[in-house]
Chain A
């Protein structure tokens, strides 16, 4: 006989708090942006025309699809999206290749040292991102730290042009987002049972083979979590490409800024944001699906 599940009193109110939060600060702003993306630009305050109008006992709903059509017709936007995805993809890859050995080393370090190493990884994030990116400008500029050192030791005769190129964007993005790769990977790797590796070696696998056939597959969820935490925000990243990138750097965050503040074209900017959201929802859903599957396996 199945007992009816006991519902503690006040359950509704407890759950309603996060839902209210999500409604107020996520769904409502999203609805507003969605609404603006379907309106027409105008020289007014706010700079767009209303969608709903009640004139002479008639409710006029004017859904303007022009913004989206405009986005698809101008190649600039498509290349900005692709540019963002490309930079996000390769940054994620670089973060993974740098972050995995770091996370692995921390997870295998003596217990009392792990906390210190983790703090070292996290510490940079305690400073505002803007300040850290400015510091990188100082390092990478033509007469900056890096070029001075390289010229000082005679490795190069004239300064390397790094600042205001995509290379600088990659450096900045990888630098800023590496902790978000390392932490979930560490959380995963630290739980690994070392005897599994010993068992693999005992059964004839060398160290490298054991690593690839045991450690890597078992850290899959960590890899996915870390990659999502890097990929998703990098697609919409604005500060780093704006400060470190150059004319060749075409990212959607920058374009969005320009549409919004320079052109004061709120509807197009909103449409850009909605499309970006749709692009990002795909990996988000994948991530969620992956997590749900993991939870299911554990129960």
Chain B
């Protein structure tokens, strides 16, 4: 064990090296390289067809990559069949064996290793306790609720003490209310066990809640890797910015680029955009995109002071969501801008439909993206 620790750097416990996967002509995974730390919860986030599930199946051993290799703890496991990998997966459908009881499901993997019966029993008991399912040990899967089934599936995939746990859309089969609860519970269990975990999801909220780092996948390649905050606050591309949360996109041109500030001229805004830092850019890349999150846009009835970062418009639509409202402001140029309005007081005079309003934002609220 100590040797293995010495062999691999802590920050590349699982190493995906230039993996590609072709199905007939379609390229599902396109030259992906990733490093996953020991003990980390790592999420592959992307829409359908982004290649995230294929990548997970390559890690599990159900698909063989067309190119590239997978290293686990310094060992090349690319050619190992799934039943020889120290990796276990929790399936989206849970894939519990319907003809076996909860106990038998959890014991299945241990039996394959021909462990002595006493040890199997002890391990099953331990796992049942871990997921709080002890009193359901003798039930069949179809006698359990969705959340209980998920716990059994988790216990089954942890029973063999895998080096890596794979989660395929872990909340996919649960309803929304249960989802939030199980997300936290799952993370707690995974962290208590201390297993390295790679999950696949299309739900950004789920990825941000559960994972320490996220890789955003798009059309088979990795668009960005980073912590949830990195990805949300500093997206590297328009695609990432639009995929994670809502965003207002202003297309503009850099008119001044100093060391401590920059000015962006945007046709759709009344006043130019002032950015509180310089933009390192080549001279020909004058056309950029300014991405502004709706919660960073202020809506007010009074005209803001200053020569920058504001624009006039009318309230086009309001979506009251309880905690906050989403205002859709139609600017004079015709552009629709989203702004979140925190409903921090119960009854407060706030702009309503067709009111004339101003939007404004801070110097460092937005992100400059190259188009």
Contact = CB atoms under 8 A, between A and B. Distances in A.
A203 B156 contact: yes
A132 to B, nearest CB: 38
A193 B95 contact: yes
Nearest to B98: A218
Contacts of A203: 83, 88, 108-109, 112, 156-157, 160
B81 interface: yes
A196 B83 contact: no
A150 B323 CA distance: 85
Size class of the A contact interface (CB-based, 8 Å): 10 to 19
A209 B112 contact: yes
A179 to B, nearest CB: 27
B82 A202 contact: yes
B89 interface: yes
B273 interface: no
A202 B109 CA distance: 8
B215 interface: no
Interface string A186-197: 000000010110
A135 to B, nearest CB: 42
A214 B97 contact: yes
Contacts of B95: 193, 195-196, 198-199
B313 to A, nearest CB: 51
Interface in B44-99: 60-62, 81-84, 87-89, 91-93, 95-99
A193 B99 CA distance: 13
Nearest to B85: A202
A205 B111 CA distance: 9
Interface string A44-73: 000000000000000000000000000000
Contacts of A297: 142
B119 interface: no
B88 A202 contact: yes
Interface residues of B, number: 26
A204 B110 CA distance: 8
A232 to B, nearest CB: 26
A282 to B, nearest CB: 26
A198 B112 contact: no
A240 B305 CA distance: 101
A206 interface: yes
Interface string A213-238: 11001100000000000000000000
B89 A218 contact: no
A30 to B, nearest CB: 38
Interface in A149-204: 193, 195-196, 198-204
A217 B108 CA distance: 14
Contacts of A205: 83, 108, 112
B99 A218 contact: yes
A213 B98 CA distance: 12
Contacts of B91: 195, 198-199
A100 B96 CA distance: 24
A203 B97 CA distance: 12
A274 to B, nearest CB: 39
A204 B99 contact: no
Contacts of B84: 204
A196 B61 CA distance: 15
Nearest to A203: B109
Interface string B107-149: 0110011000000000000000000000000000010000000
Nearest to A220: B99
B115 to A, nearest CB: 11
A1 to B, nearest CB: 27
B89 A196 contact: no
B99 A201 contact: no
A200 B61 CA distance: 13
B156 A193 contact: no
B112 A204 contact: yes
Given A195-B93, A203-B109, 15 more contacts: A196-B95, A199-B95, A199-B96, A199-B97, A202-B60, A202-B87, A202-B157, A203-B112, A203-B160, A204-B112, A204-B160, A209-B112, A214-B97, A217-B99, A297-B142
14 contacts: A193-B93, A193-B95, A195-B91, A195-B95, A196-B98, A199-B95, A201-B61, A201-B81, A201-B82, A202-B83, A203-B157, A204-B83, A205-B83, A218-B99
Interface of B: 60-62, 81-84, 87-89, 91-93, 95-99, 108-109, 112-113, 142, 156-157, 160
Interface of A: 193, 195-196, 198-206, 209, 213-214, 217-218, 297
List the 3 closest pairs (A to B, CB-CB), nearest first: A203-B109, A204-B112, A199-B95
